[in-house]
Amino acid sequence: MAEIYPFPKTAEEQGAERQLTEAMHALNAAIKHAAQCGFAIELRPGTWPFTTYTRTPVPYIDFTARLPGRQKPPEFVEI
């Protein structure tokens, strides 16, 4: 059976991989620090369904960090 050798990554692909790895490390560190400071963290995965550079939806993560007890209560307005 023949061995399969993957093609080496281009400089652009290596740069994108490095940038994504650094961004994930920074995001994880920020979430950990916010949680240690008492923030309530909410993560919501999503996708960008319409992109011009790929056929498949591109995943992303949206998140919020709120301090418990410091949120402004929702205002109800009568119509």
Backbone angles phi, psi at 42, to 5 degrees: -125, 125
Average pLDDT over residues 24-28: 94
Cα(44)–Cα(26) distance, integer angstroms? 18
- Whether residue 76 is predicted with pLDDT greater than 70 in this model: the reply is no
Q: What does the DSSP assignment read for 44-73?
A: EEEEE---SS-SSPEEEEEEEEE-TT-SPP
Backbone angles phi, psi at 28, to 5 degrees: -60, -40
For the CA atoms of 56, 18, 22, 19, the dihedral, rounded to the nearest 10 degrees, stands at: -60
pTM over 0.75: no
